[in-house]
Structure 1
Amino acid sequence: MQDIAEQLLAWHASGRRFAVATVVGVTGSAPREPGAALAVDADGEVVGSISGGCVEGAVYELCRAALASGETVLERFGYSDEEAFAVGLTCGGVLEVLVRPVVPGADPALDAGVALIAAGTPVALARVVAGPAGNAGSTGSAGTAGLLGAAVAVTADGHHGALSPGAAGAAPLERAVVAEARAMLDAGRTGRLVLGLDGRPCDRRGRGTVTLFVESYVPAPRMLVFGAVDFAAAVARIGRFLGYRVTVCDARPVFATARRFPDADEVVVDWPHRYLDSQLDRLDGRTVLCVLTHDTRFDVPLLERALRLPVGYVGAMGSRRTHRERAARLRAAGLTEAELARLHSPIGLDLGARTPEETAVSVAAEIVAHRRGGGCLPLGAGNGPIHHDVPRGAGHGLPTVADRAQPTTL
């Protein structure tokens, strides 16, 4: 929902009713990940996408129906072999989609969530996708019935909304949801959460449990591009296209100008290693560092620090000879072989790239492959799944994104 938050905020501010359809579960191959969203307002205007076109028409109608009825629904979409043109995913996967009507001012959690997401404030939005039957917001004898679609917006120091307003029986469950969602927000995770009605964690969904989909919205991941060269302009452009907040840094003011790098969110004039030292509290496992200086005065002090930081990717430009000489200098500076193994150098995949734009595609391809665990082979050369995110802790150890309670990434 983060990619359509600005439009939702505009609708919300104008008092316009809308319905939001969110992908809350994926099985098999599917074009979009959990958290993808589509919204339809009362006038029929649509923003966002949940399937790249496969089921958009059907979801649009569900949103219209939800606006008319005021009811939250959970729908599954899959491929039908018997009816080739049936509403479904031609890729063979299954999507679970939660459709919820939104009336501005009527739901404190969604009201706060939309505003916080649009403002760039970290927030976890926890929504009930399975549990006791009934309508969201109604209560049963224990105060837990009818929770489908109920939501709580959780920040680092508070929360907005309630699972079942005024129902004392829902208090233990709500406290557990807030605590678990806050932990997921702290880790930058998006995924499912299954709890018993008393708030205790459960291994699987079953009778007497509530399943929630928790979306953690955190600021855009950062791409730091060091070296104000022509390749940097192309890398900054493709980095922004991929959704990164891009910074270009160089110690030479004549080259590091906003005019030369219009696609960068910021251009910094400073020694690369000194600037990196000033950013330690703003770096995380999603951060990408592209060192394009290929000048030992700049890149050796920078890489000596970068390769010891818990960032997602560090790549450096240069010839193979430059790489060998640079590695020798880094060993002399005290880096271990394990730390040196984290360096992607020469940066990028072997695409035969020559121009800055082609080189930027090569760099971006390596970043995506590293993040997702891609084999860098033509898709037609294999028979396995097209989407194969690396499990947490495997390979390079980067966090990954999925509906299977895995963390968000680069």
Structure 2
Amino acid sequence: MGETLRSERTPYVLATVVRAERPTSAKTGDRALVLPDGTLEGFVGGGCAESTVRDQALRLLESGESTLLRITPGAGSAPMDGLVTVNNPCLSGGTLDVFLETVIPPALVHVHGDGPVARALVDVGRAAGFDARPSGAADPPGPDAAAVVVATHGRDEEAILKAALHAGVPYIGLIASRKRGSAVAASLEHGDRIHTPAGLDIGARTASEIALSVLAEILSQRPAPPRPVAGPEPDRAEAHGHCCA
């Protein structure tokens, strides 16, 4: 299922039981996937554990972080980096350590064009961890597109740029001379959102260097990382279910 989710660019959290202290219904090695809609596929324990894992996983999907979750009776130990401890309200007791690994799809970059710069953008982008895809004028950007870069040397530029602007793509770049790029951007509504010439000024000359400068500019436009995820308040944790962990 994980491969399918990755191919569909669906974020998820992989929950793996790394330690189980009796009495618990889960065993070390039990796993489950938690999806953005709260669906939990697999097994990491009874209702108390399942509810707590789901709650923490949904919070992690918002932050993009991973953590070790400890579900234990009378949780009250000093906080530790990378560890979230939650009280186990179930009468059966028991302690579970569950590693929650958040899997977020890499940033999707649509690259338009078939010249050296366009090819370098795809190759360098993939090497840098982006989901860089060669695209055509008939491939409108989806809602999860992080960037659209146009390097078509004048072919279908305006149509592609209009589609990207309409879709609200966070980064839109046009590979062109400063004069031509400014003219194209000025001719479009909200054209001031277009980065042209695309890329940070790092003295790039070759196709690979230009691609690197564009990818660096895309990275520079990313939102600041969210603050670390805190554990739930005790009364919230105690509201989860009434069966074994």
Q: Do both share a fold (TM > 0.5)?
A: yes
The Cα of 1:229 is off from its aligned counterpart by: 1.5
- In the other structure, the counterpart of 1:126 is 15
- In the other structure, the counterpart of 2:204 is 353
| 2:103 aligned partner, one-letter code | Y
Tell whether the 8 Å contact from 1:124 to 1:154 is kept in structure 2 after alignment: yes
Relative to structure 1, the CA distance from residue 154 to residue 366 in structure 2 (aligned partners, 3 Å threshold; closer, same or farther) is same
1:162 aligns with one of 8, 27, 44:
44
- In the other structure, the counterpart of 1:305 is 163
What is the number of equivalent residue pairs in this alignment? 209
Give the secondary-structure state (helix, strand or coil) at the position aligned to 1:308: helix
1:174 aligns with one of 50, 53, 61:
50
Give the secondary-structure state (helix, strand or coil) at the position aligned to 1:238: helix
- In the other structure, the counterpart of 1:391 is 225
Tell whether the 8 Å contact from 1:188 to 1:216 is kept in structure 2 after alignment: no
Tell whether the 8 Å contact from 1:231 to 1:356 is kept in structure 2 after alignment: yes
Alignment of 1:234-249 (within 5 A): 234-249=120-135
Tell whether the 8 Å contact from 1:152 to 1:178 is kept in structure 2 after alignment: no
Distance 1:213 1:348 in 2: 39
Give the secondary-structure state (helix, strand or coil) at the position aligned to 1:352: coil
Deviations 1:120-163, CA, capped at 9 Å, x for gaps: 364411346xxxxxx823324xx59x999875322464411223
Q: Is 1:208 aligned to residue 84 of structure 2?
A: no
TM-score, scaled relative to structure 2: 0.66
1:137 aligns with one of 2, 17, 20:
20
1:191 aligns with one of 62, 66, 81:
66
- In the other structure, the counterpart of 1:385 is none
Give the secondary-structure state (helix, strand or coil) at the position aligned to 1:288: strand
Q: What is the CA RMSD across the aligned residues, in angstroms?
A: 3.8
Gaps of 5+ in 2: 74-78, 89-95, 231-245
Relative to structure 1, the CA distance from residue 219 to residue 369 in structure 2 (aligned partners, 3 Å threshold; closer, same or farther) is closer
With CA pairs under 8 Å and 6+ residues apart, which has the higher RCO, 1 or 2? 2
- In the other structure, the counterpart of 2:119 is 233
Tell whether the 8 Å contact from 1:184 to 1:190 is kept in structure 2 after alignment: yes
Tell whether the 8 Å contact from 2:148 to 2:173 is kept in structure 1 after alignment: yes
Tell whether the 8 Å contact from 1:127 to 1:213 is kept in structure 2 after alignment: yes
Deviations 1:269-291, CA, capped at 9 Å, x for gaps: xxx1x321xx53xx415x32111
Distance 2:207 2:183 in 1: 24
TM-score, scaled relative to structure 1: 0.42
Tell whether the 8 Å contact from 2:20 to 2:97 is kept in structure 1 after alignment: no
